[in-house]
Amino acid sequence: MKTILVIGIGRFGKHLSRKLIKIGNEVMVVDKDEEKLSELLPLAASAQIGDCTKEEVLRSLGISNFDLCFVCVGSSFQNSLEITSLLKDLGAKYVISKASRDIHIKFLLRNGADEVIDPEKDIAEKLAVRCSANNIFDYIELTKDISIYEIPPAESWIGKSIKEVNFRAKYHVSILATKVDDKISLLPSADYIFRPDEHLMVIGRHSDVERILRLIN
């Protein structure tokens, strides 16, 4: 469990806070608009109305006590920049700020953000990859070169074991898990037999996974 501060409860901040709380974190939510906080009041560890561009407001929150601070202010980039900088000045351990443009990402990183996310861009890129191929059910980019893909097995693998296919050596890709009807089994052994009704969670370089996708198509 981590102690987390979420500043800015718009659509993104609200969904982020709900998920953080659901998986067991202690979350404080802050926004200038009391109405935006109302939905999270029964769930969050604490909630506060306040303008976080003001140093005294942030100082009153005890910033150094939080493991993570999220800046989810979407209406004003200037406000996001000021809050990010103030958080670091007040001893924030790790600040993740939300941006909507590449130039904003650069400025936020220069002004103290440890990490910057662009949710719309991330979702658009993930959707583009998933929809560009017939056999990608899900996709998570880890680096520019390596990703996790959810794909079906090739027809030529069905009824054979991972060892018989010589999967790792032949394709330079690792199988993290198998999935059948939303039931996931982690790290299948070398004796695991490929099934026609399953999905595979594989991790590897894009070029290597693309070779598998061409085989499947």
* Confidence label for 106 from pLDDT (cuts 50, 70 and 90): very high
State the pTM of this model.
Answer: 0.74
| Nearest CA-CA partner of 60 in 71, 73, 70, 50 | 50
Q: Are 49 and 75 in contact (CB under 8 A)?
A: no
Task: Please say which residue of 82, 117, 152 terminates a domain.
Answer: 117
Q: How high does pLDDT run on average in the chain?
A: 93
User: Could you tell me whether strands 174-180 and 199-205 are parallel, antiparallel, or unpaired per DSSP bridges?
Assistant: antiparallel
Domain that includes residue 210, residue range: 122-216
Task: Please say which residue of 95, 117, 139 terminates a domain.
Answer: 117
Tally the domains of the chain.
Answer: 2
pLDDT tens track for 55-91? 999 999 999 999 999 999 977 899 999 999 999 999 9
Chain centre to alpha carbon of residue 113: 17
Q: Are residues 77 and 47 in the same domain?
A: yes
Q: Return the CATH number at 153.
A: 3.30.70.1450
Task: Please say which residue of 117, 138, 173 terminates a domain.
Answer: 117
Q: Return the CATH number at 100.
A: 3.40.50.720
Q: Are residues 10 and 105 in the same domain?
A: yes
pLDDT tens track for 1-48? 899 999 999 999 999 999 999 999 999 999 999 999 999 999 999 999
**pLDDT for 130:** 80
For residue 132, pLDDT beyond 80: no
